[in-house]
Amino acid sequence: MDRTFLTATLGTLLGIFSIGVLGMVKANSAGEPTPEPPAPKGDGGWRLLAPITYENISVFPVVAGYTNDTSHFLTLEEGLASGEVVVSEQGAAGLSRSRDGWPRPTYSGGASVNQLVLINHSKRPLLLLAGELVSGGKQDRIIGKDRIVPVGAEPLPLDVFCVEHGRWSSGANFSAAKTIVHPSVREQAAVKQKQEEVWYAVRNGTTAKAEASGAAAGVGGDAAAPTAAPRVDSQALTVIVTNEAQTESYDKIYNRSRRIGGNVDSFVAEVQRRFAHETSGLKSARVVGVVVAYGGDVAWSDIFASEDLFYKYWTKLLRSYAVEALARPTYRAVADRGDAEQFLVSLHGVIKEETEPGVYRWREINQGRLSQIELDALDPQPLTLHRLLLHRTS
């Protein structure tokens, strides 16, 4: 074939291609929408959706293109409701298991503020999350650390923290884990692990400093002025403790008091409505967690191994975030999406680990003011069931 003909043909094709490209550029510049680049993905293949905002809170849904099967895990709320899980004070009768599998009474030891006894009678491994509240006994307690209790385990000495400072009297066995305490209290239990700090957080609402939150919310380091004082402050809490919750019970203060309980209920209902609306049309993505900000301060994230597991905890978690929001001043700034996306990336720092071979592995990583806590199930294969990342308030 003639070289001149080939050259001419090639030139014609290049010209057509160039015209097409220029046409697309002109079309885009003429006002046609240009697709946005895909959002960056976190370590677990996660990505953020646009935030749901209400008053001073922003909730970024965390989605994944897959979901794991976590149906064989039992939650504490499910176990207590069915009677398959029993929690009692140390030394209480009926909590030991004999070799043939039948419970037998025990009489040794006495009750302890920071330790209970748990038996998992179910045929499923039990998942415990730090901050879950159990009511009853001599005083209400919260779980101190994420962990898994395997099927057939011996009675477990369970590390807990008290969230009812003013009572130490006989009560029924522990029941109803329908509450997860709000982030300021949960931080003191899960990270600092100090009983006095837990009591302080219950009594004072939030441990976040107003000036720190304002600086984080401001632009260029300037503090952003709050638009309103917190609806739950130390003065309001003092009135509630005096009139409605003399034992400083977390449940009575934040769930059942007239002054706070109603505010939390309405706050949760509105955020939940907006969240359901924004996530209801997802086709190829599963909601597995959230990143939460107060004003401009990205403060907290809870991410789970499956959509099913996330929704088992979602209402309790949202209520806990709402309590924290009501206890913090309302800032004008809205959280930056880039800051929220950083909560999807693992920290690099000193690692602390605890392992029960063949059952679970717990680890904590601290970097600057950030803490990351992960719980891995090891059977039948390694799987991160829950990942918490938080910006510490102290």
Residue 385, both tokens: 């069931």
Q: What is the pLDDT of residue 42?
A: 64
pTM: 0.84
208-228 pLDDT, tens digit each:
976 444 444 333 344 566 778
288 close to 46: Cβ distance less than 8 angstroms:
yes
Q: Report the pLDDT value the prediction gives residue 48, as an integer from 0 to 100.
A: 96
For residues 352 and 61, give the distance between their C-alpha atoms in angstroms, rounded to a whole number. Answer: 28
State how far the Cα of 330 lies from the Cα of 252, in Å rounded to an integer. Answer: 25
- Structure confidence at residue 389 (pLDDT): 98
Residues of the chain short of pLDDT 50, as ranges, are 1-37, 93-100, 102-108, 211-222
CA–CA separation, 37 and 22 (whole Å) = 21
DSSP class of residue 152 equals T
Q: So what's the pLDDT on residue 59?
A: 98
Residues 108 and 92: their CA atoms lie apart, in Å, by: 9
| Rounded Cα distance, 288 and 311, in Å | 8
What pLDDT does residue 5 have?
A: 40
Closest C-alpha to 77, from 143, 167, 160:
143
pLDDT value at residue 348: 93
Q: What is the pLDDT of residues 92-124, one digit of tens each?
A: 644 444 444 544 444 345 788 999 999 999 999
For 85-101, letters b (16+ CB in 10 Å) and e give bbbbbbebeebbeeeee
